[in-house]
Structure 1
C-alpha cells in the first residue's frame, strides 16, 4: 500500500456522499415537499404538462413511502461508502477500490436500465451525473492502490 494517496479525492468522495446523505434525509424527513418538486419534474417532463397533478392520493402516498425507503437506502449506502473511502481505500487497499467500483457500476446499470425502460430519462441523467461524480476520483486513485 502506498502512503501518498491524494487526500483531495478522498475529500471529494466524502462531499459527494454528504450530498447524497442530505438528499436521502430530505426524502425521509420531508417526502411531500420533495415529491412536489421531483414528482412534477419526473411526471410532467416525459408525460406531458400537468400529468403529475392527475395522480390520486393513493399514488401520492405510495410515492411518499417509496421516497422514504429510497432515502433510507441512499443514506445507508453513502455511510458505507464513507467508511470504505476513509478506511481501506485511503490506505491503498485495492479490494476497497474494486468493491466501490463494482457497487457503483451495479447500481448505475440496473437503475439506469429501469429508468430508461420506463421512460424516466431524467433519472438516467441524474444517474449519469452521480456516476461521474464518483468515477472521476475513483479512476484518479486507481494507480495508488496496491496490487
Structure 2
C-alpha cells in the first residue's frame, strides 16, 4: 500500500467508525435522535414531540432498530476494512461497494419520493464519506491479494 492508499484506507476506517457511531447514537440517545431528526426534517427540534406520546415512542423504536442495524452493518464493514480490504482483496472492496449501493438507492429513492429530501441529503453525505476512500482504494484492489 502506498501513502495515498494508506490514507484512503484510514478514511474508510473512519467512515465505517462514523457509521457505527451514528447507529449507536440512534440507540442510546433517543431524545437527542428525536431532536436531531425533528430539526433535520421540520427545522424545529421539538416538532416530533407534537405527534403525541405513542407516535414518539414508535418513532424512537424505529430509530433504535435502524441504529442497531446500522451498527451491525458497520461491524461487518469494519471487519472487511481491517482485514481483506487492507490486504487488497477485490471481493471485499466490492462487498463494500455493493452493500452501500444496495442501501443508498432504495433509501434515497424512497426519501425523495415521499418528500423527505432532507434524508436524501444526509444519505448523500454518508455515501460521499465512503465514496472518497473506496475510489482511492480501487487501484489497490485491482489484483487479488488475499
Q: Secondary structure at 1:143's aligned position in 2?
A: coil
Matches within 5 A, 1:1-147: 4=2, 6-42=5-41, 44-45=42-43, 51-145=47-141, 146=143
Higher relative contact order (CA 8 A, sep 6+): 1
Q: Does the C-alpha gap of structure 1 residues 141 and 56 become closer, same or farther in structure 2, counting only changes over 3 Å?
A: same
Q: Matches of 2:90 and 2:13 in 1, distance apart?
A: 19
User: Which runs of no fewer than 5 residues in structure 1 stay unpaired?
Assistant: none
**What's the CA shift for 1:77?**
0.9
Count of residues paired in the alignment:
142
Q: Matches of 1:38 and 1:102 in 2, distance apart?
A: 27
TM-score normalised by structure 2 residue count: 0.88
Please tell me the root mean square deviation across aligned C-alpha atoms, in Å: 2.0
TM-score normalised by structure 1 residue count: 0.87
Q: Secondary structure at 1:136's aligned position in 2?
A: helix
User: Which runs of no fewer than 5 residues in structure 2 stay unpaired?
Assistant: none
